[in-house]
């Protein structure tokens, strides 16, 4: 039995990555139709094929969520294809490190544009449809939106902004019946942490880096994309009907250690 209304549809950004792909697979298992977007057309097509093989209804729109015209386009496509929009999952994000001395204004604006600015304005675009369905929004932050990290001023602050945005939107949208929550993953076995590791330590030091990453967690392993996706889809579903404004760590106990 699905935890979503019959005919429900979701819009998922960053759908070609590891967590986005896992979210799409879990939504397919719930019989949720979905509109998927990402800047990676080939990866997006591969995810769509997986979803279709699982029997899911899916359309894809490759593009950049920092572009206002594209945000309007993907919301219109979602509603046009499926007649409604029940869930917005702001999953797209990037991780870029840099010391306080090395971060440039352009790099700061770039990471904020993707991680914090685009989610808000996509909510704004989708809001009339989400109010109509009394839907849900799930934002993707990071445990580093709750904690600090060396060489992470731009990333950490952008992800903290997503947490604050979630709290503010939850307060604004509760009277309309729209729930807003945020997931804060820890170190998940996707390409993202290794991009940061290679930039900070240099290539060829993956084993050393993994040991350091695992050591800071109570559960002594990396998380999987599916473990994050399970929480995202739970928050989007009717099982979380009494949850809004929640920032949920999925971090192996990192934030508790």
CATH number, position 155 = 3.40.50.720
Which structural domain range is residue 63 located in? Answer: 9-186+224-249
Residues 56 and 156 in one domain: yes
Do 206 and 97 fall within a single domain?
no
Task: Check residue 196 and give its pLDDT.
Answer: 59
Is 196 catalytic? The answer is no
Q: Are 58 and 33 in contact (CB under 8 A)?
A: yes
pTM: 0.94
Residue 256, in any domain of the structure: no
Report if residue 1 sits inside a domain: no
pLDDT value at position 134? 98
How many Å apart are CA 88 and CA 213, to the nearest integer?
Answer: 30
**Same domain assignment for residues 207 and 110:** no
Decide: 128 and 180 in contact? Cβ < 8 Å.
no
pLDDT per residue rounded down to tens, the chain (257 residues): 679 999 999 999 999 999 999 999 999 999 999 999 999 999 999 999 999 999 999 999 999 999 999 999 999 999 999 999 999 999 999 988 888 999 999 999 999 999 999 999 999 999 999 999 999 999 999 999 999 888 789 999 999 999 999 999 999 999 999 999 999 999 998 876 666 555 555 666 667 777 777 888 899 999 999 999 999 999 999 999 999 999 999 999 999 98
pLDDT confidence of residue 124:
98
In total, how many domains does the chain have? Answer: 2
Same domain, yes or no: 90 and 198:
no
Instruction: For residues 58 and 104, state if they share a domain.
Output: yes
CA 176-93-105 angle, to 5 degrees, is 110
Same domain? 71 vs 172: yes
Predicted pLDDT at 193: 65
Dihedral in degrees, nearest 10, Cα atoms 53, 59, 60, 65: -130
Annotated active-site residue in 4, 70, 82, 155: 155
């Amino acid at each position: 039995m699905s935890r979503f209304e019959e005919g429900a549809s979701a819009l998922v950004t960053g759908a070609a990555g590891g967590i986005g792909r896992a979210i799409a697979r879990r939504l397919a298992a719930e019989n949720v139709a979905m509109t998927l977007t990402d800047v990676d057309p080939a990866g997006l097509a591969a995810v769509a094929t997986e979803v279709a093989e699982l029997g899911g209804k899916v359309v894809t729109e490759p593009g950049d969520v920092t572009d206002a015209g594209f945000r309007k386009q993907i919301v219109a496509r979602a509603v046009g294809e499926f007649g409604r929009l029940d869930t917005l999952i702001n999953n797209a994000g990037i991780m870029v490190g840099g010391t306080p001395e090395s971060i440039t204004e352009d790099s700061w604006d770039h990471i904020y544009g993707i991680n914090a600015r685009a989610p808000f304005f996509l909510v704004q675009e989708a809001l009339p449809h989400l109010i109509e369905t009394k839907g849900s929004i799930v934002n993707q932050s990071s445990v580093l939106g709750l904690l600090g990290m060396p060489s992470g001023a731009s990333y950490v602050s952008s992800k903290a902004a997503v947490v604050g945005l979630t709290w503010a939107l939850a307060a604004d949208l509760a009277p309309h019946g729209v729930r807003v929550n945020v997931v804060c993953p820890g170190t998940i076995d996707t390409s993202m942490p290794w991009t940061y590791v290679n930039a900070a330590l240099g290539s060829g030091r993956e084993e050393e880096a993994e040991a350091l990453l695992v050591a800071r967690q109570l559960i002594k392993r990396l998380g999987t994309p599916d473990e994050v996706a399970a929480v995202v889809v739970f928050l989007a579903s009717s099982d979380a009907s009494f949850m809004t404004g929640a920032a949920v760590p999925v971090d192996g106990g990192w934030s508790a250690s």
